[in-house]
Amino acid sequence: MKKRLFLLILIYTVCSLSASAKNYNVYSPKVYKQSNLVQSNIGQKGDVIELVVDYSSSMTHWIGLAKSTLQTILPKVSANTNVGLRVFGQGSGNFFVVDMFNACKATKLVSFPRSSNTSSVISGLYSTKIGAATPLTYALERTVYQDFSAFPKTVKKKIVLVTDGEETCQRDPCAFVRELASSRSDIVIDVIIVNGSDNLRCLADATHGKYYKIGTDNDFGNAMGVSFGTQPENSFNPQSPNINSKGNGNNIHYEFIQ
């Protein structure tokens, strides 16, 4: 009798432990679905705007202006928009040694595009050192094929390029962007050029972006605001004596004349 009772207790205990064990790592359809949704949505929610800034020595004033301007603009950007920062032409802090080979590879993703990213972008602008060369094409390539690769082609992506010069590393940014635009419609480039030539207008033209030729601090802030979607496009009056609009259809460029 005791043996039978012991056996029954043993069987009951084993069955109970087995049932309890089955409760571990058991995912209901609801839990499984939620877990996969969290992972699948990483880097895919909302549009993408990546600020790509020229850190060559002649940009010192405009980089300083960008720091203060973006502190006001970025908090107003939609929470559904992923904002990132890439720099190019940056230096190592040693102004006595200039290695042009390495300088022409000088570009860095400072902050990966994500929502509510103001502090990371601003701190990145402050921490980056001024450099020498302008490897513009290489920076655009890294933005497209590295930074944007985490996002599907169904997501709209914008590059806001801020520079005052042209390519200095024997590359052709216009040729690169025209080829890109022939196979990709998800990428737009807005060009904010400060006191420079119009040679980079091709980047905006090829991608149906906007081109801003800036001559004043106020115009710089307005161009940044429109590119980041925090102020309406019609906030610029084409009839203003210091603004010249060009283009047709939706492909309009605002050129600010000093």
Provide the residue-wise pLDDT of the chain in tens; the chain has 258 residues.
Answer: 544 444 444 444 434 444 433 333 333 333 323 323 332 333 446 899 999 999 998 999 999 999 999 999 999 999 899 999 999 999 876 544 455 567 899 999 999 999 999 999 999 999 999 998 899 999 999 999 999 999 999 999 999 999 998 899 999 999 999 999 999 999 999 999 998 889 999 999 999 999 999 989 999 999 999 999 998 876 654 333 333 334 333 344 444 333
127 assigned to some structural domain: yes
Contact by Cβ (8 Å): 228, 74: yes
157 assigned to some structural domain: yes
Distance of CA 117 to the CA centre of its chain: 10
Whole-prediction pTM value? 0.74
**Unique residue bearing structure tokens 């210091």:** 242
Contact by Cβ (8 Å): 109, 86: yes
Buried b (16+ CB within 10 A) or exposed e, 191-201: bbbbebeeebb
Phi, psi of 190 (to 5 degrees): -95, 130
17 assigned to some structural domain: no
Q: What is the dihedral of CA 71, 73, 74, 76, to 10 degrees?
A: 130
Contact by Cβ (8 Å): 212, 193: yes
197 assigned to some structural domain: yes
Q: What is the DSSP letter of 130?
A: P
Contact by Cβ (8 Å): 256, 215: yes
Q: In a 10 Å sphere around its CB, with 0-12 CB exposed, 13-18 middle and 19+ buried, how is residue 137 labelled?
A: buried
Instruction: Supply angle C-alpha 126, 117, 235, rounded to 5.
Output: 90
8 assigned to some structural domain: no
25 assigned to some structural domain: no
**Unique residue bearing structure tokens 């940014």:** 173
Domains identified in the chain, total number: 1
29 assigned to some structural domain: no
Q: What is the DSSP letter of 143?
A: I
pLDDT of residue 46: 85
β-strands 157-163, 48-54: how paired?
Answer: parallel
202 assigned to some structural domain: yes
Residue range of the domain that includes 128: 47-256
Q: In what order do the strands lie in the sheet with 82-88?
A: 107-114, 82-88, 48-54, 157-163, 187-194, 211-214, 251-256, 243-248
Of 109, 24, 73, 29, give the one whose Cα is nearest residue 227.
73
pLDDT of residue 100: 58
Domain containing 141 — which CATH number?
3.40.50.410
230/74 Cα distance (integer angstroms): 8
